[in-house]
Structure 1
């Protein structure tokens, strides 16, 4: 898992975007440890409290760029695969915002955080106080 995680961090994608993706997937998966970790990492990287608080309702706010919106929509669709496959229009929107390499890196990053969430939620990893 550590090697997968390292690979997901060695991308062309901007770090703040990746922290939003990691945080949103972790919220959806109910992974308290990962939400705590990635919101802290996002704040350390300059993310605002306002945007972090709005992340669960990102689609209802004006706080996120089209690129971030495409990444967050893809994150939600990939995280909720039990609802069905990623809708083609949603994937096409991501293709408009990310070049081929970036999109592959984004898909990989979403896959990795979902795997970490499953490990941490299963083993009841809780945030450190």
Structure 2
């Protein structure tokens, strides 16, 4: 699966304008660590004093937020992975949640890098 589909971001730019598109990208990148921490906390893997039982309802909400925001910007790999994790959390399937979780951070890193590269290319083309 592709990490990033730039056509989605192009459509967002065409519909909302360059300024709005840039704002969405900057906000997404700024909030990505917070979204990841929220999901980790809900899964009980955020560190601290020791293991915490997962809250699958909170994990579902956090994963859906991550999936929706990622999908809006064309970050297909992360959107899909987060959506599958949300579905597993909704179904109470902790085994699947635990299997999917380790892929979230690397996919988020790839998504963030893809957005940064896309933005750099767009800025270079505009100058």
- TM-score band w.r.t. shorter chain: 0.3 to 0.5
Name the TM-score, length of structure 1 as normaliser: 0.32
Which structure carries more helix by proportion?
A: 2
Specify the structure having the higher radius of gyration (Cα): 2
Name the TM-score, length of structure 2 as normaliser: 0.33
